[in-house]
Chains A and B, each alone.
Chain A
C-alpha cells in the first residue's frame, strides 16, 4: 500500500516512515511543507496519505488545506489528518463531501502503533477514523433537540464508536455485547436518522455526518 507522509518535524516524520514501513506500507513520498504535499498527493495518487495539519511555510492549517484541495481534485482520496489539537470545525470540513476515506486523529494516537496502523488501513479502505476526543466534545455540546436526541443512550454509544470508524465486531467487543446486537443497534440508528438504504459503508459515513451536523 503506497502512502504519502507530510510532517514538518524531522524526528516525527522519520518515526512515521519507519512505523509504516515495518507494517508493510510503501512510502511514496515524505514531505515537510504544504505546497510539496499537494504536489506529492496529485503526482503519486497514494492509497492513503498521513498529513499533519500545521505545516510550513505559513504554519497555519496548511496541511488541512492541501488535503481538502487534493480531495476536491481527486474525490475520495483517502487522507488521515494528524494534529496536536482536534477541532470540530476541521472535522466537519473533512467530512463535508461525504465520500469517506477520512481520518482525523490526535498525534498522540501514534504512540499506540497497532491502533494507529489499524486507523490508517481503515481510512485507506474508505472508512473513517475520528479521534475519540472529537467525538467526546461533540457529545458534550450536543444537548439540542435534533434527530440524534431520538437515539437511546446505547445507540448513541454505538454511533460514537461508529464515528470513530470501528467495525461492528470491534464495537461489540468494546461494549461487551454480541455482534448481532450491534447490527440491530446500527439498523435502528440508520432508521432514526432517515438514512437511505445503500451500502453499509456509505451509510456509516452518512451517520457520522449526521452526527457531526446535528
Chain B
C-alpha cells in the first residue's frame, strides 16, 4: 500500500500501480542482466520512432511538418514511457514524466498551431530525441553490459570444446579475447583452459555487476528522461494552481452553505421570535392566557435556534477537534457513528489546525461512505505520525469494490487534502476489505501542556 503513495507535486497523485513483489538479492542478480538486455532491445522500436520524429522535424518548415509534429512528439513520449516504467520497476531510480502540462486543446487551426508551439518549446521533447540517439551506446556500457558479458561467456563455452576451428574456417573472428582460435581449441589444453576460464569470469562478473549496472543506467535515465528543474517547477505550479482553485471553490461553497443555513434557520427563527414577542406585548393586557401560550412557543423557538446554531458550529469546527485535536475528535466521531469504530492513534503532538481540520473532515466523510455504501459492520481507523507525515488508514470489512470515481466522493476528499499536498490511496478489491490510506505532510506543534 504505502509504496504506492507518490508525494504531491506530480500530476497523477493516485496511481493504481500493482505492488511489485519484493525480490530477494539472488533473484535481482539473476534477473538484472536479462533486464538490461531487454532495455537494450527497447532501443530498436525507439530508434525507429526517433527516425520518424527526425523525418517530421526535417519537414517542419512545411505545413505537413507542423501538422505531423504533435503526433510524432506524442508517439515518442509513449515510446519513452516504456523506458520510464521499466526503470521505475527495475532500478532504484524513480522517474516522473517531465512534460510541461498541456492546456486545453483548442479546436481548429489556431489551437493546433498553439499546441505545436507548446510542444516545440518544451525542452523535454528535445531531451527525448537526445535519448533516442544516445541511449543505445550508453546502454551497451551500462544496463546491457552484464547481459552481453554473460552471452560472451556462453560463447566461450561453446568455442572451447569444438567450434573454434570451424568459425575461423568460415571467416569469423579468429580471437576469443586474447586467445587465437583458428585451430581447433580442443587440440591444445592450455588454450582450452584459458578460454574456459575467461568465459567463466565473464559470466560471474556479468551476474555480479547486474543490479549495480542497472542502477547506473537508472541514474542516466533519470538525468535525461526525468524532469528538469524547470519542468519540475512547472509541474509544481500546475499542481498548486489546481489545488488552490479547488480550495477556493470548496471554501466558497462552504460559506454559501453556512449563509443559507443561517438565513433559513437561526435568522428566520429570530425574526419569528421578534414578531411573537411583539404580539405577546400586545396581548399581555387583553388576553394573558393567549400570551402565555405564545410565550411558551417563543421559548421553544429559541431552543430550536440554539440547537441549529450548535449543529452549524459543529459542522464548521467540531468542539472536540478544537479542544483536544484530531485523535480525540476522530474517537468522538467513532462514538457517534452507527458502525462499530475502533480508533488507534499514536500522535506525539497536534498537527497544524488546518491540516487537522482537513484530516478530520476527510475521515468523517470516509465514515459516512462506509456506513452508506460498504455494508460494513466494523471500521478500524489508525492515525500515526511518521517521517513528517500524518498517516491515516481507514479500513472497513464491507463488500469492497469502491473506486475513485463511482460516486464515492473519494475524488472530493482527495482534492481537499490535495490542498495540503496530501495524497490518498485506495485499495478495495471486490469482496472487501476497503482500505483508504491518506498521507498529509505537516509539522507537529509542541506537545500541548496540561492545563492543570
- Residue numbers of A with Cβ under 8 A of B are 34-35, 38, 53-54, 57-58, 60-62, 64-66, 69, 83-85, 87-90, 92, 108, 111, 137, 140-141, 143-144
Contacts and interface: CB of A to CB of B under 8 A. Distances in A.
Contacts of B306: 108
Nearest to A146: B340
A89 B331 contact: yes
B450 interface: yes
A87 B321 CA distance: 11
B452 A69 contact: yes
Contacts, number: 60
A127 to B, nearest CB: 23
A8 B392 CA distance: 36
Interface in B256-309: 299, 302-303, 306
B163 to A, nearest CB: 78
B283 to A, nearest CB: 22
14 contacts: A58-B451, A60-B322, A60-B451, A66-B451, A66-B452, A85-B310, A85-B313, A85-B314, A87-B319, A89-B328, A108-B303, A137-B336, A140-B338, A141-B338
A38 B339 CA distance: 37
B320 interface: yes
Contact of A111 (B299, B322, B340): B299
B118 to A, nearest CB: 52
Prevailing SS type, chain B contact patch: helix
Given A65-B452, A87-B320, 15 more contacts: A34-B452, A54-B319, A54-B323, A57-B451, A60-B322, A60-B324, A61-B323, A61-B324, A66-B451, A85-B313, A85-B314, A88-B336, A108-B303, A141-B338, A144-B340
A110 to B, nearest CB: 12
B130 interface: no
A141 B335 contact: yes
Interface residues on B, range: 20 to 34
A212 B340 CA distance: 13
Contacts of B339: 144
A89 B335 contact: yes
Interface in B335-364: 335-340
Nearest to A39: B452
Contacts of A84: 310, 313, 319
Given A87-B332, A89-B328, A89-B332, A35 B451 contact: yes
A62 B451 CA distance: 6
Contacts of B302: 111
B398 to A, nearest CB: 15
Nearest to A90: B320
A65 B314 contact: no
A57 B449 CA distance: 12
A34 B310 contact: no
A82 B319 CA distance: 14
Contacts of A66: 451-452
Choose among A87, A90, A143 the residue with the greatest number of B CB atoms under 10 Å from its CB.
Answer: A87
A105 to B, nearest CB: 13
Contacts of A38: 452
A93 to B, nearest CB: 10
A116 B45 CA distance: 84
Contacts of B452: 34-35, 38, 65-66, 69
Contacts of A61: 323-324
A163 B328 CA distance: 24
A5 B57 CA distance: 84
Contacts of B319: 54, 83-85, 87
The 8 A-B pairs at the shortest CB distance, nearest first, are namely: A61-B323, A60-B323, A89-B332, A88-B335, A85-B319, A62-B451, A34-B451, A69-B452
B166 to A, nearest CB: 82
B427 to A, nearest CB: 26
Nearest to B335: A88
Contacts of A137: 336
B335 A143 contact: no
Nearest to A54: B323
A72 to B, nearest CB: 10
A85 B324 CA distance: 14
Choose among A53, A85, A89, A90 the residue with the greatest number of B CB atoms under 10 Å from its CB.
Answer: A89
Contacts of A62: 451
Contact of A141 (B299, B313, B322, B336): B336
A197 B169 CA distance: 107
Given A61-B324, A65-B452, A87-B332, A141 B314 contact: no
Contacts of A90: 320
A56 B42 CA distance: 69
B318 to A, nearest CB: 9
A143 B336 CA distance: 11
B310 A141 contact: no
B244 to A, nearest CB: 31
Contacts of A83: 319
Interface in B134-184: none
A10 B77 CA distance: 70
Nearest to B299: A111
Contacts of A34: 451-452
